[in-house]
Homo-oligomer: A and B are copies of this chain.
Amino acid sequence: MKLKIKNLHWSAGRPVAILNDKTAKKLNVFANDRVAITNSKTVYAIVDIFPKLIKEDQIGLSEELTKIIKLKNKSSVKVSTSELSKATFLIKKKMQGKQLTEEELIYIISEIVHNNLTEAEIAYFTAAEKLNGMSMKETVNLTKAMIKTGTRLKFKGKYIADKHCIGGIAGNRTTPIVVAICASAGLILPKTSSRAITSASGTAGVIETISKVELSLKDLKSTVKKTGACLAWGGSLGLAPSDDKIIRVERLLNLDVEPQLLASIISKKVSAGSKYIIIDIPYGKGAKIATLEKAKNLGVKFKKISNSFKLNLKVVCTKGSEPIGNGFGPTLEMLDILSVLKNSPNSPDDLREKSLFLSSELMKLCKIKNARKKAEEILSSGKAYEKFKEIINTQNGKKDFDKRVESLKLAKYKKIVNAKHSGRITEISNEGINSLCRILGTPETISSGAYLHKHIGEIKKSEPILTLYTESKTKMKDAIKFLEEFKPIKIK
């Protein structure tokens, strides 16, 4: 059936085609069924039925489809009912416990990238990966598929480097510090990061408190060329773009799918052109990985996959049983970073130490001698701070770093929580701190969050443990209630 396009400025979060009820009847499709739309190529869309908006001879396209189809209003397209796509047979094959070939994985991932699979179909795929597992060969092929279906960057220079933490630790905002130190030491770091998924903030969200992070590929390249590094949001660059769609579906259950984790990280690094990579796997109670042994096992898998892509990859297993840094929430984490880079007397020691450790490990991997000493010298001398400033200014195209930093503000409502009795802080839950910050308004309200005055160790009665920041009285009440009920910080 031929229908005329009506482009709607309508964001449905998935490719939706809106039909008149009579057209739907003729095509014999119901709402939520799939149709094939053919012009020079065929794309698939989910059907909505909206008679008031769309006439019988029209098809309304959601923004997600407008972007793919790129046809003007009233252009004519062929619309037909869509049977199961080949990708669904392949997903079923994986559900049946069989291995998928590189070609088959490319097919599935390409269908995900082109929005031709529904979230439910992606859920089946990730469930099959999780429950039936993937062999190392399959995981490598999955990684290849994720790289092939996206943009791939190339940079000049011998040591294109990156660091990546598998996450799960509150705070732990080492990336901007490591990037500043290592770029000062001469490494090239085309660093892209994500926004918060379940934490108080992601690296991209923290950088965004003082900088643009949605860079075009052109701006990203010129920033890296000029300063040796960048601190961009990875979401809009098209590097392994299937990843974001899969993560979105995993998030529905907060599911950790190991082959997907491995493929996700390695595909992003290869796509960004990195060759020297440090992978940080925090372990311990309350971390994603419970024990050192499990962390090492995961590390071995990272190493194996990296060999297939000729990467110089080193895994470091770090202690992850409590948060790192004092501030949690976009602005509070940026203030921690700045205090470390500026060598302020009250800067968090753990964040400084972990950043130095990761920097020197990455520098060592890139054949820099006396790496630890050099990293310390770069940080202490203020060179890292200057490099950070240069990166941010170049990224923004304006030399207004100081003004941006000065305008950082914490939230209107503030409350200090003191220890009710003397004792020992035995546990600070990463998940608990993240939930607390989410209640206070992070990551959306960048001025909100929590500041931790004490880490694990002794505390005296009435000493401050936490300061809470929020822009809403109700949220403050909810946060206090949460603290009392769930006790994310245990004092014995």
Contact = CB atoms under 8 A, between A and B. Distances in A.
Given A119-B120, A127-B124, A32 B13 contact: yes
Contact of A47 (B13, B21, B33): B13
A197 interface: no
A120 B252 CA distance: 8
Determine how many copies of this chain the complex contains: 2
A290 to B, nearest CB: 14
Interface stretch (A3-11, A103-111, A214-222): A3-11
A131 B120 contact: no
A92 interface: yes
A410 interface: no
Contacts of A127: 95, 123-124, 127-128, 131
Q: Give the most central of A9, A11, A253: most B CB within 10 Å.
A: A253
A3 to B, nearest CB: 18
Contacts of A249: 120
Interface residues of A, number: 47
Nearest to A88: B253
Contact of A48 (B13, B123, B253): B13
Question: Which of A124, A131, A248 has the largest number of chain B CB atoms within 10 A?
Answer: A124
> Counting chain B CB atoms within 10 Å of each CB, which of A14, A47, A121, A127 scores highest?
A127
A8 B50 contact: yes
A426 B202 CA distance: 64
A73 interface: no
Contacts of A51: 9
Given A120-B249, A124-B253, A131-B132, A31 B12 contact: yes
Contacts of A252: 84, 88, 118, 120-121, 124
Interface in A98-148: 118-124, 127-128, 130-132
A30 interface: yes
A239 to B, nearest CB: 20
Interface in A290-330: none
A49 interface: yes
A91 B120 CA distance: 14
Interface in A8-50: 8-14, 16, 21, 28, 30-33, 46-50
A198 B11 CA distance: 32
A27 to B, nearest CB: 9
A258 to B, nearest CB: 13
Given A13-B33, A127-B95, A8 B253 contact: no
A254 interface: yes
Given A121-B123, A127-B131, A10 B50 contact: yes
Nearest to A13: B32
Nearest to A87: B253
A444 interface: yes
A442 B446 CA distance: 57
A1 interface: no
Nearest to A47: B13
Interface string A388-428: 00000000000000000000000000000000000000000
A52 interface: yes
Contacts of A444: 28
A253 B132 contact: no
A53 B33 CA distance: 23
14 contacts: A10-B52, A11-B31, A11-B49, A11-B50, A13-B33, A13-B46, A84-B252, A91-B253, A95-B127, A118-B120, A119-B120, A120-B252, A121-B253, A123-B127
Given A118-B119, A119-B119, 19 more contacts: A8-B52, A9-B50, A9-B51, A11-B30, A11-B31, A11-B49, A12-B32, A12-B49, A32-B119, A48-B62, A53-B53, A91-B253, A92-B253, A95-B255, A119-B120, A120-B120, A120-B252, A124-B252, A131-B131
